[in-house]
Amino acid sequence: MAAFDKADIEKLVDGVLPWTAVQEMMKSPKDLDRFDQYVEILQSRVDWDDRILLPLTPLLYIVAKRGITGDGARVVKCRCGQEFGDYRVNWKLSSLIYVRDDEESLAEVYKGRELPDPSWVQVREYICPGCGAMLEVEAVPRGCPPDFDFLPDLDTFYDEWLDRPLEDKYEYRDLTPELIKDWSLPDYNKPLPELEGFAEDFYEYCKDGELRFQRCDDCGVWRHVPREMCAECGSFEWSWARSSGRGTVFSWTTVERALHPGFGTDTPYAAVVVEMEEGVRLVSEVVDVRPVDLEIGMPVEVTFEEVTHDVTLPKFRSRLSDRAPSPSRVGGNGAGVRVERDRPVQVPATIRYEQDGRVAIVTIDRPEAHNALTKDMLLGIDAAMADFQEDDDLWVAILTGAGERSFCTGMDLKEAIPLLTSGDALGYEDQTKRQFSDVFKPIIAAVNGMCIAGGMEMLAGTDLRVASETATFGLGEVRWGLVPAGGSHIRVPRQIPWAIAMELLLTGEPISAQRAYEIGLVNRVVPAGDLMSAAREVADLICRNGPLAVRTSKEIAVRALGLESGFVLEKALAQRVFDSDDAKEGPQAFKDKRKPDFKGK
């Protein structure tokens, strides 16, 4: 019988063990020592401490959580540290999925007669959100759900085969159906718009969480009913311009008896005419106000409802920013009812700016795009923080992202790359400034999910950080021929050890929440469901102190760093990268889902 040592098993893991030896290993009896050595080798090749229970794929493992929470939860984890949730839920649902379902994309993989018919087959590539590695590929009939390849009975394996029971017992069953049962859209039996012509463009923007109207390029007039020619000046030059998403109730009609059967259970309801800040009037509904409570001039903001997989409708919700909050909602240090700010601050609909006692809460609200930022959103965050800085009633700010998947993934590349390569300063014409660099009140980041690229740069401008267990952190710009020129080269090496800062900046590889805690990048790591309460707990601790003393302490610490000259240097040197051919090749490769071909110029 052949004997296999640790070196042989390492060769097996690396795929270099001779085939004859592999055959001998497969035929030989299984033994505990070989399994233990196998797991020991895998454990030595990852940068995190969670205990590997069983490998799923060459890059994915089922692990028992360790570290700060110490709850022993069993999750699927990538070699890079990205987590995919409970091992009994299909991990593919938490991955990025690139689908090849047309002839052009399939032809990149299949050649000639091998090319399948895209009318019945599609290829799905499952990609890790943390490191970008391809985890698995499957070719399936169109509409087939992601295959749950392997659900191991871990407790039976450890009990009966290894004879070393795991500490906690988990029910052996597929939890995926429970997760996805609410994903299906409800049956929608009301009239739907016809997606033709200009209407198709309008509703496509709505699917992306953007309310856009036509705007004449010559006279600047906005119009909701699309047409080729401007009724004001006769120009045929126009573009789709993004609305602020804010407006007021202009009028409404209360419907007591529905003519269409689809509205039968909704009566009474109100068909509301909303006058947008741009002057456009739009007929919709206010979803959180009863018809009897509507008022002319009531401030509202857009929200979106996905009613079918093809149609997302713009609707509205009430906005309290022009109303004075009641005394019970403002003042004091404790958490009260969260309300929108009572001062007129111009922020887009994708940025929420709210007040909870002495705490300002700024939320990046574009979860369908991983909270990627547009220029308007970036300026909106700055406007909210400027208001926070000036308001003596606000003592601490919490910055977070909507949803559980992403805190912020940086600028939306579709908008950012043309701006950056053309020299647009994205609102930072003063090269001595970066985001939050002149805000001297404490800012707490509550990080949920991915915090990468510009999200990480924003994080570097905050003072205290609370992260969910599933958070990941990274500066991946170099992987696409770019540099993080939002202050990261100056701030990050001052916040964590030099060698680790260089690892983040030069490799582009992300790190886990646990690793971020270990290197001092974040203050606390908590379960995702406790994130905002933990951030609020930190805010309340600060609010117990003298606000002038707190602000002055931060101002002294920030000014003493002397960051301004570094910011200027960063801007000057970064521009040569943005002007390069590599800066064009990287984003194009990202868009094409391929490896970039850099030339170093």
In the chain, count H helices and then E strands. Answer: 17, 26
Name the residue among 209, 206, 208, 95 with its Cα closest to residue 146. Answer: 95
What secondary structure does DSSP assign to 567-598, as a single string?
HHHHHHHHHHHHTSHHHHHHHHHHHHTS----
Beta strands in 264-377 (DSSP E): 269-276, 281-284, 299-306, 312-318, 339-340, 351-356, 359-364
Which of 83, 477, 518, 570 is labelled catalytic?
477
What is the separation, in whole angstroms, between the first and last Cα of the chain? 58
Q: What SS3 class is residue 585?
A: helix
520: left (phi over 0), alpha (psi -120 to 50) or beta: left
Task: Give per-residue burial for 521-531: e unless 16+ CB within 10 Å, then b.
Answer: bbbbbbeeeeb
Contact 504, 479 (CB under 8 A): no
Name the residue among 535, 146, 491, 540 with its Cα closest to residue 334. Answer: 540
Tokens 């050890």, residue? 497
Q: Is position 457 annotated as part of the catalytic site?
A: yes
- Taking each helix axis from N to C end, the angle separating 488-495 and 564-578, rounded to the nearest 10 degrees, works out to 130
**Cα(360)–Cα(441) distance, rounded to whole angstroms?**
11
Strand order through the sheet with 212-216: 222-223, 212-216, 238-242
**Cα(338)–Cα(72) distance, rounded to whole angstroms?**
34
Which of 136, 340, 354, 457 is labelled catalytic?
457
Q: Is position 477 annotated as part of the catalytic site?
A: yes
- Positions marked active-site: 457, 477
